[in-house]
Amino acid sequence: MKCWIQYLTAVVFCFGSAGKVFANTIEPLSGLPLAPGFAKTGDPIQSYTFCGKGTRSVVYAGGDFPDLDHEVSWYVHVMPGAVVFTAIGGAKTLITADGTAAVELADAFISFFRFSPGLSPAEMKILGAAPAARACTPD
């Protein structure tokens, strides 16, 4: 019985600790998870129109990932159902299924976006091809 209680205590402790390690911080503009180690830059929130949608974006820097692949894997895990695009320069963009929020991953910098109303699948593709672009023109 004593051995069983010790085992159960160890399991509860491990899972409790894991919860703290994997706890997400939510980025306020987009409502998306903010990966560990990133902090908002001093740049102000940008507001503009993309594909006729009201758009706001904010940039974060830092990160605790050894490379972009690990960063992308983390975001794919915490954003189930997101659509993933790779731009020509290698930046990855994950967009929520409803098109209302996105995160652009570029190693030490990440940008979060909020769209109102949400992007259509065609507009998502345009953003994914050139996430830094402000114009909404298909290739």
Q: Is residue 125 part of a domain?
A: yes
Q: Is residue 13 part of a domain?
A: no
How many Å apart are CA 14 and CA 33, to the nearest integer?
23
What is the band of 1 on the pLDDT scale with cuts at 50, 70, 90? very low
pLDDT digits (tens, 9 = 90+) for 42-58: 999 999 999 999 999 99
For the entire predicted model, the pTM comes to 0.81
Q: Is residue 93 part of a domain?
A: yes
Q: Is residue 101 part of a domain?
A: yes
Q: Is residue 2 part of a domain?
A: no
Q: In which domain, by residue range, is 110 found?
A: 24-129
How many Å apart are CA 13 and CA 18, to the nearest integer?
9
Q: Is residue 135 part of a domain?
A: no
Q: Is residue 11 part of a domain?
A: no
pLDDT digits (tens, 9 = 90+) for 91-100: 999 999 999 9
pLDDT digits (tens, 9 = 90+) for 80-139: 999 999 998 899 999 999 999 999 999 889 999 999 999 999 999 999 998 888 888 765
The CA–CA distances, whole Å, from 88 to 2, 61, 105, 129 equal 60, 21, 13, 7
Report the domain count for the chain: 1
